[in-house]
Structure 1
């Protein structure tokens, strides 16, 4: 991920964060408990929202530039957070390590989301929580087709971000049990609570 993209990410996302995303993140992360793995922690926007139900957060991020942007936000957290530079497809952790896995606006950029889900399932404890907030391909035929058309150019502009990911279908394909889904902005964004059945 480029230094320029990392530097300006928060600036461009700020209008959405202020309007709606902040509340969504707070609600999602209020369900996190125990030892938490956050995939693709980016600029650390989630760090201030973890509560006392969380013992520790291990934040995984492949981009050193994003890690640099996230470091100042460590001071805003009330729980210990360790940042590890790694990709979601090869997590450097033992099986059944984490009580909760969190990913917010991440699966759109992971090069191999199927492999990442297998790793997520491996490191998450049986019956562990999987909490996601993602943007996905829309159900509306016209808008979904537009996303397909725009994705190649969008990936180049936004460092690999895919507008057309079918994340809910991917979860079901990998036998992750979805317990709750909330949709926002005409189902462009989805809030997903799920459980790791092994």
Structure 2
């Protein structure tokens, strides 16, 4: 990860978080219950919003961000353990977690399809999967603009793909979407899904 990006991430994002994202995160993450895995925890921005979880394992591959997240975990309302690791190779047994959370993370994971398969594996049957992601716009011209900007954006924002259709990837991997809400003229979406592993 770009060292400057990880160093200044909280500072750069703070106005956006305060005005818009905080409410979205709070509404989504309150749905996380039981034993929870957060994938790509970053600097721990979500930690303050866990209210119903018993314990959270927060996975973060970047050492600097993980260090900041560990500091925030100390002040969380529920137990949070920050560990190193990446979403494409989750170091957990099958059917370990009741809930899994990912916010603004699928856009940066190099292999999101593999990551979603891993999330599906470690989440229990009928477990809850929660995402807050930005997506490629369906508008012909705006979508093409995202395609055009993505190479430069990836360089500036540590691999973030503006044009990745994360919602489509989630649905293609077999998660059953039970709640979907669009934000900022469809640029972002929050998703509540269940992990249906077996036919009922």
TM-score by length of 2: 0.97
Describe the superposition over 1:100-144 as per-residue Cα deviations: whole angstroms up to 9, x where unpaired: 000000000000000000000000000000000001111111111
Confirm or deny that 1:103 pairs with 2:107. no
Preserved CA contact (<8 Å) 2:70 2:81: no
Structure 1 residue 69: deviation in Å?
Answer: 2.0
Structure 1 residue 57: deviation in Å?
Answer: 0.1
SS in 2 for 1:42: coil
Structure 1 residue 68: deviation in Å?
Answer: 1.6
Structure 1 residue 65: deviation in Å?
Answer: 1.3
Q: Which residue matches 1:42?
A: 42
Confirm or deny that 1:138 pairs with 2:137. yes
- Name the CA distance, whole Å, in 1 between partners of 2:48 and 2:75: 5
Unmatched tracts of structure 1, length 5 or more = none
Structure 1 residue 2: deviation in Å?
Answer: 2.3
Q: Which residue matches 1:160?
A: 159
Q: Which residue matches 1:184?
A: 183
- Name the CA distance, whole Å, in 2 between partners of 1:167 and 1:76: 31
Map 1:1-198 to 2 at 5 A.
Answer: 1-51=1-51, 53-198=52-197
Structure 1 residue 71: deviation in Å?
Answer: 2.1
- Name the CA distance, whole Å, in 2 between partners of 1:72 and 1:84: 13
- Name the CA distance, whole Å, in 2 between partners of 1:106 and 1:47: 15
In the alignment of these two chains, the number of paired residues is: 197
- Name the CA distance, whole Å, in 1 between partners of 2:55 and 2:111: 27
Preserved CA contact (<8 Å) 1:2 1:65: no
Moved more, 128-137 or 165-174: 165-174
TM-score by length of 1: 0.97
Preserved CA contact (<8 Å) 2:34 2:98: yes
Describe the superposition over 1:174-193 as per-residue Cα deviations: whole angstroms up to 9, x where unpaired: 11100111011111110100
Unmatched tracts of structure 2, length 5 or more = none
